[in-house]
Amino acid sequence: MPTPTTELDPALLEKLLPPYRVILHNDDVNTMDHVVKALRRSVPSLTAEEATAIMLEAHHHGRAVVIECPKEAAEHYRARLESFGLTATIEPAGSNG
């Protein structure tokens, strides 16, 4: 008897759990080093290089996308970033912000 598969249809998954972006906003309070450390601790999947690139994007352009994920996870990451004194928001991934 064949083993049943548990593959999810990507279109259905996106409809059920639409992606959200976590946005980091630049501020004049936190040091660049603190922001990189906070990004790495808040979103453990980020490498040091990715966290640095996100910090620089926010620094030079006012905002940067940290991660794209389902809304509940995005809310969690936003709260973690805010716990380090950073300004972060979430938005639906389909918007241009």
Q: Which residues of 34-62 are buried (b: 16+ CB within 10 A; e: fewer)?
A: ebbbbbbebbeebeeebbbebbebbeeee
For the stretch 19-29, pLDDT in tens is 999 999 999 99
What pLDDT is stored for residue 23 in this prediction? 98
Domain ranges, ordered by start, for the chain: 13-92
Q: What is the pTM assigned to this prediction?
A: 0.83
pLDDT band, very low/low/confident/very high, at 46 (cuts 50, 70, 90) = very high
Task: Assign domain 13-92 to a CATH class.
Answer: alpha beta
Q: How far is CA 3 from CA 6, 10, 36, 82, in A?
A: 10, 21, 45, 45
Sequence-ordered list of residues with C-beta below 8 angstroms from that of 65, at least 6 positions apart, any chain: 21, 22, 23, 24, 54, 57
Structure tokens at 75: 């809310």
